[in-house]
Structure formats: structure tokens, C-alpha cells
């Protein structure tokens, strides 16, 4: 089993309990990227439950089929981010039973080489593929896992970051310096929040994106607004002129897609209602969709 698959399973082991609060300015370091999913909030509204049902079918069902592991209704909230050293940190909040703890350790022990380590009296576990090769910034070859902090499951790709997380009681390494934190967008009831430094798109993701080349940060949000799913993206450009040019490009792309005849008529109607706004060097694109229209679009 690849450690990337192990990390996905570990994300879904939290039982109902204390939630990771909505992200706020200063909660995140000057990281490369972050993602936050609030599954409890998603299950609490009609629009969110439809999105959750798709997630359950597309992700959790695969875990049930392949690993006989039932993640439904277990995970409450998940936060993942890249640290400044390029490593990955994952935090899952939950009220873990002994059964869940045993399950996490059993899955970990089956993943490859398994070592029990200690830091200031707290246990954490090193898991390596059989090849024993370390991979910086990803879970391809090595992961560190701990349940030593009450109510938290911690997974990192760096031993140094695991020890720091244990020292902080599982708190994310926040950065309160003005202008340093990644974009954090907000809605009335947030389901998914994400952000990244856009230079990573070319450097790490292999995308050659003319649209994003002259931008610095990207933020993304999916939230419930009046029973619809509001999808918002925000770009911080290198200067206001670039933001204005990007807005024109986005409007043109929306118009071309809406007129192409390839989209469902209802989706095309929603697409025509997309809001594109500029504030200095910041470009915001927002659309509110019927949940089923969005789900059909991403299938």
C-alpha cells in the first residue's frame, strides 16, 4: 500500500467530536498551499448534504470497497497544508475511541516499515515504504503519525514538523504578520476552503497557465448561501493592470463557454450570472449554483 493511500485513509478516521474552527487570518503560516474541509457543516444543510452525498459516493465508497473501511459520518473536519520547509501537515480533529486508535495503528503497521518513536514522552510512528526511501514534502515514501494529542490525529511528512506539532498541542503553525498569510475566503456557511501560492502551479503541478502566471495567490471557497452552493475564487495579481486584464479574459472565457452549445442549458444560465469584480490587484469570481447542477458539472 502506498503511503499516499494510507494518508487518505487516515484522513477519514476521526469520530464525531470537537471541530476545528473556521479558518481565520493568522491561522496559517506563509505556506505554499492549504485545504480545509468541514464535513460536519456540510452535513448540516440541504445544499451541503447533496455535496456530501457525492463525496461519500466518489471517495468514501471506494474506501469501503477496497479496504472495508467505513468513513461515513466519521470525519468532522480536515486541514492539510504545506509547511515552509516543503513538508505536508494534516490535522484531523475528533473524539477518538480506542477502536479507532487501534485501527489507525493497524493500518499504519501494514503500510511498510513501522517504527515507534517518542518526543518528550509522547508517541509517534514512522511509516516507510519497503524501499525505505524518504520523500520530502509528500507521503510517497515516509509518513509520521501520532494520536498523542487528545482529540487530534496528526500526520506529517517531516519528523521535525511532527515534533513541532506535538510541542504545540496539535495547533497549526500560524503566522500573524500582515500580508504573509495565504488568502482565506469566507461565506455564510463554509464547506471547503483552499488557497495556494500560484507559482507552485508551474513549479510543482506541471501546469503551463498563462491565466495564473502573473498572479501571486489564489483562494477558493465553497459555501452554502440561501440553499445554493456559492463557489468563489479570488486571485491576487502582481498589479492592478494585470487584474483588469485577467477579468477581461475570465469574462471572455465565460461567454465562450456559455455560447458553445456544449453545456447543459441550466448550467449555461447559471454561468451567465457569474460575478467578476476587481478591487485593486485582486480579482474575485463568484457563482451561485443549484447543488445538483454543480454536482453534475464535476462528475
pLDDT digits (tens, 9 = 90+) for 239-283: 999 999 999 988 888 887 766 666 667 777 778 888 999 999 999
Does residue 68 sit within a domain? yes
- 34 versus 66: the higher-pLDDT residue is 34
- Nine cell digits for residue 56: 461519500
The whole-number average pLDDT for the span 82-95 is: 80
173 assigned to some structural domain = no
Query: Strands, E, within the chain: which ranges?
Result: 33-38, 77-82, 88-93, 113-119, 122-128, 142-146, 152-156, 189-197, 215-225, 228-237, 275-279, 282-289
24 and 161 fall within a common domain: yes
The verdict on 106 and 15 lying in the same domain is yes
Quote the pTM value: 0.78
pLDDT > 70? residue 231: yes
Judge whether residue 127 has pLDDT over 50.
yes
- As for how many domains the chain has, the answer is 2
Q: What is the pLDDT of residue 289?
A: 87
Q: Please indicate, yes or no, whether residues 91 and 206 belong to a single structural domain of this protein.
A: no
Answer yes or no: is pLDDT of 4 > 50.
Answer: no
**Each residue's pLDDT tens digit, 59-82:** 778 766 765 555 555 667 788 888
CB 281 within 8 A of CB 235: no
Domain that holds residue 59: 3-167
Cβ atoms 91, 172 nearer than 8 A: yes
Confidence band (pLDDT; 50, 70, 90) for 236?
A: very high
Asked if residue 70 belongs to a domain, the reply is yes
pLDDT at 139 (0 to 100) = 63
pLDDT of 119 above 80: yes
Domain termination residue (choose one: 107, 135, 167): 167
Separation between Cα atoms, residue 192 and residue 42, nearest integer Å: 9
15 within domain boundaries:
yes
Q: Strand 152-156: give its sheet, edge to edge.
A: 113-119, 122-128, 142-146, 152-156, 88-93, 77-82, 33-38, 189-197, 215-225, 228-237, 282-289, 275-279
Amino acid at each position: 500500500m502506498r503511503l499516499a493511500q494510507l494518508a487518505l485513509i487516515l484522513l477519514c478516521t476521526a469520530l464525531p467530536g470537537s471541530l476545528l474552527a473556521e479558518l481565520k487570518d493568522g491561522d496559517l503560516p506563509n505556506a505554499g498551499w492549504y485545504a480545509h474541509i468541514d464535513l460536519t457543516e456540510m452535513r448540516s444543510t440541504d445544499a451541503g448534504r447533496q455535496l456530501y452525498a457525492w463525496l461519500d459516493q466518489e471517495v468514501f465508497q471506494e474506501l469501503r470497497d477496497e479496504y472495508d473501511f467505513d468513513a461515513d459520518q466519521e470525519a468532522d473536519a480536515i486541514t492539510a497544508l504545506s509547511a515552509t520547509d516543503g513538508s505536508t501537515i494534516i490535522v484531523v480533529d475528533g473524539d477518538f475511541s480506542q477502536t479507532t486508535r487501534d485501527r489507525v495503528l493497524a493500518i499504519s503497521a501494514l503500510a511498510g516499515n513501522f517504527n515507534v518513536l517518542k518526543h518528550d514522552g509522547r508517541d509517534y510512528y514512522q511509516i516507510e515504504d519497503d524501499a525505505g526511501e524518504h520523500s520530502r514534502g509528500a507521503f510517497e515514501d515516509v509518513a509520521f503519525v501520532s494520536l498523542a494529542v487528545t482529540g487530534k490525529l496528526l500526520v506529517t511528512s517531516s519528523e521535525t514538523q511532527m515534533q513541532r506539532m506535538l510541542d504545540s498541542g496539535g495547533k497549526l503553525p500560524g503566522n500573524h504578520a500582515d500580508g504573509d498569510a495565504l488568502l482565506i475566503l469566507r461565506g455564510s456557511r463554509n464547506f471547503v476552503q483552499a488557497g495556494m501560492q500560484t507559482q507552485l502551479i508551474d513549479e510543482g503541478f506541471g501546469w503551463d497557465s498563462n491565466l495564473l502566471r502573473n498572479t501571486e495567490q489564489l483562494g477558493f471557497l465553497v459555501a452554502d448561501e440561501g440553499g445554493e452552493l456559492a463557489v468563489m475564487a479570488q486571485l491576487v495579481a502582481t498589479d492592478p493592470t494585470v487584474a483588469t486584464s485577467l477579468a477581461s479574459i475570465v469574462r471572455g472565457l465565460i461567454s465562450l463557454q456559455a455560447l458553445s452549445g456544449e453545456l447543459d442549458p441550466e448550467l449555461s444560465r447559471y454561468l451567465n450570472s457569474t460575478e467578476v469584480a476587481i478591487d485593486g490587484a485582486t480579482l474575485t469570481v463568484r457563482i451561485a449554483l443549484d447543488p445538483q447542477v454543480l454536482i453534475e458539472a464535476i462528475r
